[in-house]
A and B are shown apart, each in its own frame.
Chain A
Amino acid sequence: MTVISLKAHRAVPDESASQSVPSEVQGASARVRLGMERNRCTPPELHVERAVSVTHCYRETEGLSLFTRRGRMLQRIVSEHSVQIQQGELIVGMKTLTPRGSPVFPEINCSWVERDLDRLATRSSTPFFVSDRTKQILRAEVFPYWKDRQISDRITAAVPADIWRADERGLIYNYFRSRTIGHINAGYDKVLTKGMAGIVADVEGSLSRLDKQDRDCVHKRQFLESVILACEAGVSLAGRYAAETLRLAAAEPDPLRQAELERTAAILNRVPAKPAVTFQEALQSFWMTHLMINLETDGHAFGPGRFDQYLYPYYRHSIDSGEITQSHAQELVDLIWVKFDEITLAKDSGEAQTSSSYPEFQNLNIGGLTRAGHDAVNEVSYLCLDALEHTMLPQPGLSAQIASLTPPKFLLRCCEVLRLGTGMPAMFNADSMVLGMVNRGKTLGDARASSLNGCVATFCGGKDRMASSGYFNLAKALELALNNGVDRLTGEVLGPQTGDPRDFTCFEEVVAAFKVQVEHFVALKVRYDNTVRDIYARYCPVPFTSAVIDDCIANAVDWHSGGSHYKIATMSGVAVGTVADALSAIRKHVFDNHTVGMAELIDALDCNWKGQEILRQTLVNKTPHYGNDDAFADELAVRVQDIFCTAVESHRDTQGAQYWVDLLPTTSHIALGELTGATPDGRQAMAWLSEGVSPVQGHDWKGPTASNRSVAKLDHARTNGTLLNIKISPQTVKSDRDLHNLAALIRAYFAQGGFHMQFNIIDRKILLDAMDRPELHRDLLIRVAGYSDYFVLLSKEIQQEILSRAEHGL
């Protein structure tokens, strides 16, 4: 079999394509390639340094207010941080001593680290090397202190048994139970424009305005003072890097490199303390801020947000003043790509299964609209696309916002980069995003300035708190509705008794039972979320994050306690497609055509189709499926969404935030599928569920345009994000003309109200070969679900899943 690796595919000269959109691609520079190679060759490692600093600090500060302790903790982390400048770097700052390493966050959750410590290096999903020294220090100095003190122990103690059971049985899932809420879109622009000094001045202003009669005054003062400690920590981190850079400069024999190091040191002495002036200063200030957020907590989805927008003024200044050239600017952006790729985080093995990847959802946005509603595409947007083309790295996650007014040139350039097969940029409908954000209470300007965070969640950068708290398994709710509240796999009573389905006499009774189960577990999940969120609010203030998100300082309220300007809570529905197809099968075969009786169908589900292959095949092949622009099935998908949205939107969290739905599964549809019994669409027990808003895998046989029309019938603006995967074989995007067709496909989906599309442009043969001979395909990057990762690093199940997504094209 001839196997063409993606690299070889790229190397094939395609004249028509290279002429399509002008770009100044010159490839990655030597220092960029050096950084890429360094990241690729360094095995991810667990580092003990942060854990020791935090443990010592907490021990020594017992009795002080928690705010003060958290501020001091950041200062301690920074003062004991191993400062390291790598060869050839211009933008400096590392999360750990080695690239792609992970610190431990013992104050949040170290019980899983303790449990998995000896297996961490050999586990199948996202292994981390752990040295004997690290193990020994963790066991001697870290683990003993945190028993019953760490957040995860407090959560375990606080969450009631019925909620745990629903979690264990795969109905609901909360990913804050093992790590912090994350999903932070910091106001990087604030740091760039006013510097840490400016933020400290804001805090001082807020301190001076504190009302001494306010009974929370003491707390507020302590909080605000902790924010000052956090800002100082950020400045001193830069200072330590400046000192080390100067030390290296003094010893550097090469005068060119010496000058570079001296310039970097000078920059670090100015930012992030002071406002940035040049492009390199802005990037360095951005990176220090990003690093501080990464050192403060272990949540994922720390998103750079509207990167091209807040960096553009500095780019303009440096280019116009002649300080840097276009190619120098490109190299700096390429280098920041390498820095993003250094960021990883070791996760609990359980979670590593539902989100099985190293990339940490650092979603970087380009394009879209300005606050005034004009086209926001600028030169930096193109630099970012070129950076992805140069580096082909899985991080940052690149998202392109496409509005109806976005120029064709930008969309076509996005398509051209998409064709390289990294699955990026993911394409987002800016118009639909604005509509949804306004519906969720954002001002029009803020809605336009919004960004994607994580995989597909929408955020108002620098002002928001969106807590996408984890998954809700709609297929499991249907299972309970079709089994009188009993878990079909374990026989336990989990949900309300909605009646024996054998007695249902019309389709509406099925829907009514499903609705009751959904409402019950949505309420349960809200209780779950609130319990967990309150623990973070009480035990885990985040003064640095609070410094960079409005209006925590003005309100003198920590971000984890709801201090931000905007707040929403969301719940991620999983398996809309599976449930729509299952309902379609029941309606068509039980109630319309009487192909099968309800009792017989339930019996078949009970025994997981054993001896019922003819019935199962009939339900698979003779049912209208969601994803083929068939009104019968699509209306049911719309109804499933409406039932779920209505249930979720009736709740607020304990911080007053309105609940909304999003429809993104990450890779949870596999793990949750394993906990779900047979479903009437012919799906076997424990098989995968459908993911995101995508149709059931392989059931959208009428091609991508029909599939997109179905999916667009859902109300995307009513959600905080939906996720649609499309796989296209490379033959369909070979020529210049094909790029226009791809762009037209995207435009048409967006015109119908669709929110997001991501493309895997991959040949099936390549995937099969990569499963057989992973060593030949280490560079094969594919889109998984809201992120891209190396195919050979994914678990076998996820590899299978990607194969089975209907391959559109020829």
Chain B
Amino acid sequence: MQRKGLVFDIRSYAIHDGPGLRTTVFLKGCPLHCVWCCNPESQTDSPDLLWLAEHCLNCDLCRSVCPRGALNTPPQGGKSVALELCDHCGACVNQCPGDALNLMGRWLTVEEVLAEVMKDALCFENSGGGLTLSGGEPMAQAAFATDLLRSYKREEKGLHTVMETCGVAEWASFQRLAEDVDLFLYDIKHMDPVEHLRLTGRDNRLILDNASALAQMGREIVIRLPLIPGKNDSEANLIATAEFVRKLPGVNRIDILPYHRLGEPKYRRLGLPYALAGISSLGNECAESAQQLLQRFGLEVRIGG
């Protein structure tokens, strides 16, 4: 049987995920749990049922069609899902008239994903764009990502590929697919292993090692730095990051991704606590001063990527 990947979105006309017009495939599941993550629904490695109160018509049709009795309507209103009962069959989602219920994550084959991606081949060709793999963390489904990239490269002769990655995976997994990735957009979130552990749930050893190894292989890499106020924007961390990046052979660009709060409502919908409550988005000035600091190390630094 053909391998399937858990895909939570395929976005065409992506213009900030690499050069040209691109289609970005978001794979579900992530080994990190960054406190600022703006796509919390992408972290788990199974489909998630998402309920949007503002779209709900209170018709209760969802409950009536659920074959496993996993949905409940508590007396105080809203919707609750008995996760242990839900098998993500999607019956309630298909029924929901207001589109209040959404299933985040579908199991798709490489062919199914590529059929969707290649619809924009004319745009790729005209703009130098192509396929971007993102997540979640695409390396969390490394075998599927490898198949997908290989098929794409084989069938589409040289069209461009990008992978956005947090760098957490066995080196052997990176090695298997690195040749099929034209550009890595590679996150480095903190240089201090303890802080990294505190902010993301893991230390950064594997991440830094893989970055060095990919650079040694001669792969094209742009480092991405999500800049979170009070978390990783200290001068010491910026300097440490710049010094690390400067030593990576062939790598000389950092993109700063200023923190924004767009993910916060999703936490509410998923019933999760938002760890950064009370922290406001990063102002232009902070991003620019970080940019100037990093530029002093001879790096090309863009805000927003």
Contact = CB atoms under 8 A, between A and B. Distances in A.
B64 to A, nearest CB: 12
A615 B95 CA distance: 11
Contacts of B98: 617, 621
A744 B127 contact: yes
Given A738-B15, A741-B127, A709 B119 contact: yes
A534 B128 CA distance: 55
Contact of A808 (B13, B16, B61, B94): B13
A222 interface: no
B123 A745 contact: yes
A374 B181 CA distance: 40
A613 B15 CA distance: 37
Interface in B74-94: 94
A706 B15 contact: no
Interface centre among B61, B99, B122, B127 (most CB of A within 10 A): B122
Contacts of A615: 97
Contact of B127 (A704, A740, A752): A740
A738 B126 CA distance: 13
B13 A621 contact: no
A706 B126 CA distance: 16
Interface string B19-30: 111000000000
Contact of B19 (A613, A702, A737, A808): A737
B12 interface: yes
A23 B168 CA distance: 48
A706 B12 contact: yes
Nearest to A747: B126
Contacts, number: 67
Contact of A622 (B94, B126, B128): B94
Contact of B21 (A614, A702, A745): A745
Interface string A589-614: 00000000000000000000000011
A743 B129 CA distance: 13
Nearest to B99: A621
Nearest to B11: A703
A705 interface: yes
A744 B21 contact: yes
B59 interface: yes
Contact of B97 (A622, A629, A702): A622
Contacts of A751: 122, 126
Interface in B109-158: 119-120, 122-123, 126-129
B13 A703 contact: yes
Interface string A134-151: 000000000000000000
A8 interface: no
B57 interface: yes
A531 interface: no
Interface in A616-630: 617-618, 621-622, 629
Interface residues of A, number: 28
Interface string A666-710: 000000000000000000000000000000000000111110010
Contacts of A709: 119
Nearest to B14: A703
A629 B12 CA distance: 12
B15 A732 contact: yes
Interface in B8-48: 11-13, 15-16, 19-21
Contacts of A613: 57
Contacts of A738: 15
A810 interface: yes
A740 B22 CA distance: 13
Contacts of B59: 614
Given A741-B15, A748-B126, A706 B119 contact: yes
Contacts of A744: 20-21, 123, 126-127, 129
A145 B13 CA distance: 61
B13 A704 contact: yes
A741 B57 contact: no
B20 A740 contact: yes
Contact of A621 (B16, B61, B97): B97
Interface string A722-761: 0000000000100001101101110110011000000000
A702 B9 CA distance: 11
A752 B13 CA distance: 17
A411 to B, nearest CB: 11
B20 to A, nearest CB: 6
Interface in A748-777: 748, 751-752
Given A705-B120, A752-B122, A810-B16, A741 B21 contact: yes
B122 to A, nearest CB: 4
A745 B20 CA distance: 10
B24 to A, nearest CB: 11
Contacts of B127: 740-741, 743-745
B131 to A, nearest CB: 14
Contacts of B20: 740-741, 744
A810 B19 CA distance: 16
Contacts of A622: 94, 97
Nearest to A621: B99
Nearest to A618: B97
Interface in A118-136: none
A705 B94 CA distance: 26
Contacts of B15: 732, 738, 741
Contacts of B13: 703-705, 745, 808
B97 A617 contact: yes
Contacts of B123: 705, 744-745, 748
A703 B11 CA distance: 8
B26 to A, nearest CB: 14
A705 B21 contact: yes
Contact of B12 (A705, A743, A747, A810): A705
Interface centre among B11, B15, B128 (most CB of A within 10 A): B15
A454 B126 CA distance: 30
Given A703-B12, A751-B126, 20 more contacts: A615-B97, A617-B99, A621-B96, A621-B97, A621-B99, A704-B13, A705-B13, A705-B123, A706-B119, A732-B15, A737-B19, A741-B15, A741-B20, A741-B129, A743-B126, A744-B21, A744-B123, A747-B126, A752-B122, A808-B13
26 contacts: A614-B57, A614-B59, A617-B57, A617-B99, A621-B98, A622-B94, A622-B97, A702-B12, A704-B13, A705-B13, A705-B119, A706-B119, A732-B15, A740-B20, A741-B127, A744-B20, A744-B123, A744-B126, A744-B129, A745-B123, A745-B127, A747-B122, A748-B120, A748-B126, A752-B122, A810-B16
Interface of B: 11-13, 15-16, 19-21, 57, 59, 61, 94, 96-99, 119-120, 122-123, 126-129
A-B pairs, top 10 by smallest CB distance, nearest first, are A744-B127, A744-B126, A618-B97, A617-B97, A748-B122, A703-B13, A621-B99, A748-B123, A747-B126, A705-B12
